[in-house]
Amino acid sequence: MLYPARQTSKLITKMAYALLAVAIISGLSLGIATQAEAQSKAASIVVDANTGKTLYSSNADAKRYPASLTKMMTLYMLFEAMAAGKVSKSTPIAVSAYAASQPPTKIGFKPGQTISAEAAILSLITKSANDAATAIGEHLGGSEQRFAVMMTNKARQLGMRNTQFRNASGLPDGQQYSTARDLAVLGIALREHFPQYYSYFSTRSFSYRGRRIVGHNRLLGKVEGVDGIKTGYTRMSGFNLVSSVNTGGKKLVAVVMGGSSGGSRDAQMAKLIAQYLPSASRRDGGNLLASRKNSQISVAALELPENDNVPVPVQREVAAAPVEAEEVVTAYAAPAPAASPAAQILRIPAPTPKEEVGEGDQSEVDPVTTASASPGGWMVQIGSTGSPQEAKALLSKAVSQVGAPVASLSPYTEKFQKGSITYHRARFAGISSAKAANSACAALKRQSFNCFAIAPQS
């Protein structure tokens, strides 16, 4: 059917407006969906630590990956052993090959080395060291598997009913989870049960064998009253933080999980503290967890999470932080100490090298251009990563922090396969001798980079 020109023009105009309206509505719907997806990982809570009253909560009982917040429980277990006289600050803790091989963030302890319990504590609180956390777990539990069962048992005794641990460090594991509310309970328990050790959480840095190790908790000294506790990050968890506030007789414990960056997480925490501290009570309600501390609660350490209640890891093309994959594989093949019957029931498969549990915004590192073919001569390797972009970023970071000793070398990346997983080595090439390679490694290690020299292939 044919329409007059004027009618045709009106019809086209109406259709254009209709399509525009549909586009606007669709765009709004897409924006809402995207926003909802971004918020799905987020969870937070603010608790008055004097009264136990919840002042604010958002998704506080939703199961989330705790990342390095796991180390709060590792420290709780160590503090408990210290309070019982089983461990002292100077007790030597052996570092096994398995512990030494844990992916960064770590101090870089060597297999067979021993560290004092106090050095291990400070390593966890400042550097969030995975090698130290695993060493603590093996020292207290005989094996990390058994220690994870002990951690979960302790969580139940404290009233943390929606928490399950699989390792001492917080390295990614789909069966390890907690909630913002449970972690607030743990934060309160650490202060109430171990006031003699709680000041460790306010440590911003410490010296170890001539190295100054700086902490990740940026709110210490910047937000009035903040005296701890712990940061955490993995790609799956987002940026997490538990903060404790003690000022003017008022006490708060607040938890933020799933932040999109370290800066936004810190800003959210500071905002929550500023908003809810005025309404906190100055009246100390006594030991809020006293009735739970020694309770004989039925332990469900072996229960697995419901599939629809726990976040599932998603494979994404996102840059991972450094992973010493080759060392990890070697260590996992080593025999582990005998586990308890409970640990044997867990039947946890041997872990595979996974993403870094880091603490910083990786977008802050600028990539560098690397060679496309393997150069000759000596090389030094500083890490293995999940993507070429992250390998380049690691090399760029090393140049920025170390300067002259590596700035003249050739940054180089190399892809390799471990099982079904692809990694990318981050190396510096163009080194003339073993002496020069060892000198470059020494300079890198002084700036807390892992490093080992690689001889030319004949």
Selecting among 41, 44, 68, 178, the annotated active-site residue is 68
pLDDT at res. 40:
64
What is the distance between the alpha carbons of residues 43 and 64, in angstroms, rounded to a whole number?
8
Give me the mean pLDDT over the 408-431 stretch. Answer: 82
pLDDT at res. 1:
47
- Average pLDDT of the chain is 75
Instruction: Give the pLDDT band of residue 297 (cuts 50, 70, 90).
Output: very low
Is 128 among the catalytic positions?
Answer: yes
Give me the mean pLDDT over the 393-401 stretch. Answer: 87
pLDDT > 70 in the chain, percent: 71
Selecting among 96, 123, 128, 244, the annotated active-site residue is 128
Residue 359 predicted with pLDDT over 60: no
Residue 393 predicted with pLDDT over 60: yes
Domains recognised in the chain with CATH numbers: 43-293 (3.40.710.10), 325-454 (3.30.70.1070)
Task: List all residues 6 or more positions away from 379 whose beta carbon is below 8 Å from its beta carbon.
Answer: 412, 427, 428, 429, 431, 437, 453, 454
pLDDT at res. 337:
32
Q: What is the pLDDT of residues 249-295, one digit of tens each?
A: 999 999 999 999 989 999 999 999 999 999 999 887 666 665 444 33
pLDDT at res. 74:
98
| More confident: 20 or 253 | 253
Report whether 243 contacts 269 (CB < 8 A).
Answer: yes
Residue 210 predicted with pLDDT over 50: yes
Give me the mean pLDDT over the 172-184 stretch. Answer: 95
Give me the mean pLDDT over the 93-105 stretch. Answer: 93
Lowest mean pLDDT among 98-112, 233-247, 251-265, 396-410: 396-410
pLDDT at res. 91:
95
Tell me, yes or no, if the pTM score tops 0.75. Answer: no
pLDDT at res. 43:
96
Q: What is the pLDDT of residues 305-339, one digit of tens each?
A: 333 333 322 222 223 333 222 222 222 222 233 33
- Residue whose entry in the numeric block shows the structure tokens 């940054």: 411
| More confident: 75 or 353 | 75
Selecting among 71, 230, 250, 392, the annotated active-site residue is 71
Half-sphere exposure of 65 (CA within 13 A, CB side): 27
Report whether 88 contacts 64 (CB < 8 A).
Answer: no
pLDDT at res. 364:
23
pLDDT at res. 7:
52
pLDDT at res. 76:
97
Residue 180 predicted with pLDDT over 80: yes
